[in-house]
A and B are shown apart, each in its own frame.
Chain A
Amino acid sequence: MSNHKALNMFGRSGNPALKADTFSQSARGTSSSGGIQSMASGTMTLQGTVNKTGILLALVVLSATYTWNLFFDSGDAGAVMPLAIGGAIVGFIFALITIFKKQWAGTTAPIYALAEGLFLGAISAIFEAQYPGIVIQAVGLTLGTLASLLFLYKTGIVKPTENFRLMVTSATMGIGLLYLVSMLMNMFGSGGVGFIHSNGLFGIGFSLFVVAIAALNLVLDFDFIEQGSEMGAPKYMEWFGAFSLMVTLIWLYLEMLRLLAKLRSR
């Protein structure tokens, strides 16, 4: 199969899937006896994906620092809201572009990270002003979850299967639907789905459930990256894998923030 045809097939995939034929001509993910993947040029590697995740994380922190400082210097949420909303919208647009044009991930994923950073910095500052110390807790718990699940995945304690994928994807879509309905209800003035934002037992239980689903999405990301590097996916998939991980991490962080805020407000 020609490389062009393979890329077209890959591009048509509706989910972050890899087409086996795409990589048949590429080198299989080579690993030394120690298990560390070599940096084969032209194909996706674990090391490359981890490095790119680090770059995206640094970009998120960089732009988040800007809106964070802007908020605490001005002491006015109104000063950062345009940047926060703009960042969220630009981030969403570039996330869609990255999903549908994976080959562009090397350019679009860093822009996504910078835009989301503006949003996260502003939201985090607003939460921090209301509940001092909450942001470092959310950051610690999010990264703690990332490291724990990576360990559980690498050691084979957590084994993602097709049914696992179905369950996590369906739950993620269900949560998305619920948020969408709540947002639409809010827009039409009926107050939204109350329990999503409530600090009652059901609201906290719901937040815990969402945090668990977001965390399980990390396992799917790890498996996708692992298989991509095993199959010798194209180099740009390192950026796409890092982008997938970043989307899940940002979601997990926001849900952690929301959960902690609910607990603190009781």
Chain B
Amino acid sequence: MDANTLIFGSMAVISLAIFFYLGRFKASSKQTDRDDRIDWTKRSFSLWKIFFYSLVLVGGIVLVLEFI
């Protein structure tokens, strides 16, 4: 087994173990007791707003490309 497989393979196994262990626990109160949590019961922004922002992002990337 080469070093690449050993290093990244161990990383994968350890990460999976962390995920399956940590995933069972509730998040800390620092995370859950906040006023600015996402409210998943409603959509705070319209799809048009999201679409507009995404167009701004694409436009920005194209502009950067033009100047490079």
Among the stretches A89-97, A111-119, A222-230, the one at the interface with B is: A222-230
B15 touches A154 (CB 8 A): no
Contact with B along A91-115 (1 / 0, CB 8 A): 0000000000000000000000000
Q: How far is the CB of A248 from chain B (nearest CB, A)?
A: 13
Residue of B nearest to A45 (CB): B24
Instruction: Report chain B residues within 8 Å CB of A220.
Output: 38
A171 touches B2 (CB 8 A): no
Instruction: Report chain B residues within 8 Å CB of A177.
Output: 54-55, 58
Instruction: Report chain B residues within 8 Å CB of A37.
Output: 24-26
Residue of A nearest to B53 (CB): A170
User: CA of A122 to CA of B5 in the docked complex: distance in angstroms?
Assistant: 20
In the complex, which residues 21-68 of chain B have their Cβ closer than 8 Å to any Cβ of chain A? 22-32, 34, 36-45, 47, 49-51, 53-58, 61, 65, 68
Question: Is residue A16 contacting chain B, with contact meaning CB distance below 8 A?
Answer: yes
Interface residues on B, range: 35 or more
B25 touches A46 (CB 8 A): yes
25 contacts between A and B (CB under 8 A): A15-B43, A18-B41, A20-B41, A36-B24, A37-B25, A46-B24, A47-B24, A133-B4, A136-B5, A137-B8, A140-B8, A140-B9, A143-B15, A144-B11, A144-B15, A147-B16, A155-B27, A161-B38, A162-B36, A166-B45, A170-B54, A171-B57, A222-B27, A223-B37, A223-B40
